[in-house]
Chain A
Amino acid sequence: MLKYTVSLAVIMAIIWLLFSGMWTHPIIVPLGAASVLLTVYLATRMKIIDREGHPLHLLVPSLKYWPWLLMEISKSNLIVARHVLAGKNSINPRMARVKASQKTALGRTIFANSITLTPGTVTVHVRDNEIWFYALTEEIEQGLKDGEMDRRATEFEGES
C-alpha cells in the first residue's frame, strides 16, 4: 500500500515537472508539489491506490508486450487499409468468440483492449473466460484464434 502511494507521488511529480518545464520557479514549484499531494490524498480517499489501480508490476513486462502489440497494430492497419481500398466486396464480417486464459480482471481487460486496439477486430462482449469479438474477415478471425495475443497477454499479466 505504502509502496503504491509513494510511487504514485513520484510519478505525478515527474509528470508535473515534465509538463510544466519549470524546475526552479519559487512560487509555481511549491504549488505543483501541493497539487501532487492533493491528488495523492484524493486517490487514497477514493481507495484506488492498489495493485490493480496502479499496476507497477506490469512496468517491466510492458517493455516486451507493447513493442509486440505495436507490430501487430501496424500489420493489421495495413490489412484493413487494403480492404478499404479494395472495397466492401473484399470483406466478410462475422462475430466470433475466443477464450481468454487470463486469471485476473486486469489481464482480461488488457487482452480485450488489445483486441479492440488492433484494427479489424473489436471486442463486443466479455463473459467469464470468453470474449466475443467482431472480425472483418475470416483471416483476421483466424489470426486472433491462433491464440498468440491471448498467450502474450497472459504472459504479460504475470503471476497476479
Chain B
Amino acid sequence: MELVLNIISMVLLAAGSLLLLIGGLGLLRFPDFYSRIQAAGITDTLCSIFILVGLMLQADSLPTGGKLLFTLLFLLFTAPTASHALAKAARHSKLDPWRPGEGGASSKR
C-alpha cells in the first residue's frame, strides 16, 4: 500500500514538475502579454494540483494534508482573480492581442 502511494505521488510530482517547466517555457516563448498569462495558467492550475496532491500523499498526518488541501483550494480561488485583474488592466490601457505575423517582442504598444 505504502509503495503504491509512493509511486502515485512520484508520478504526480514528476508530471507537475514537467508542467511547471512547460509553463515557464511558454512564459518565455509566447509573443505577448495576454498569451503569457495563458502559459502562467498552466502553472496556476494543473501543475499546482499535481504537485500539491502528490505532496498530500506524502503527508504523514491529517493536519499536514489538510493544510496542503486548503493551500490548493486558496490557489484555485485566487489565481483566476489575479489573472483577471492583470488582463483587465491590460485591456484598460488599450493593449491589443498579438496578431500572427507581427514581430516577436510585441509587449510594446
Contact = CB atoms under 8 A, between A and B. Distances in A.
A134 B79 CA distance: 16
B54 interface: no
Nearest to A123: B84
Tell me what chain B mostly uses at the interface: helix, strand, loop, or mixed: helix
Contact of A84 (B25, B44, B70): B25
Interface string A51-91: 00000000000000000001001100100110111011101
Contacts of A120: 38, 41
- Size bracket, chain A contacts: 35 or more
Contact of B30 (A21, A91, A123, A132): A91
Contact of A80 (B31, B38, B90): B38
Contact of A81 (B19, B81, B91): B19
A43 to B, nearest CB: 18
B34 A116 contact: no
Given A84-B39, A119-B41, A92 B100 contact: yes
A20 interface: yes
B29 to A, nearest CB: 6
Contacts of A134: 34, 37, 87, 97
Contacts of B70: 15, 19
Contacts of B80: 113-114, 116-117, 123
A122 to B, nearest CB: 5
B84 A74 contact: no
Contact of B61 (A15, A21, A80, A93): A21
Interface of B: 19, 22-23, 25-26, 29-32, 34-35, 37-39, 41-42, 44-46, 49, 61-63, 66-67, 70, 76-77, 79-81, 83-84, 87-88, 90-91, 97-100, 104
13 contacts: A70-B49, A83-B26, A84-B23, A93-B32, A113-B77, A116-B81, A117-B44, A118-B45, A122-B41, A122-B87, A124-B84, A134-B97, A136-B35
Interface of A: 15, 18-21, 70, 73-74, 77, 80-81, 83-85, 87-89, 91-95, 112-114, 116-125, 132, 134, 136
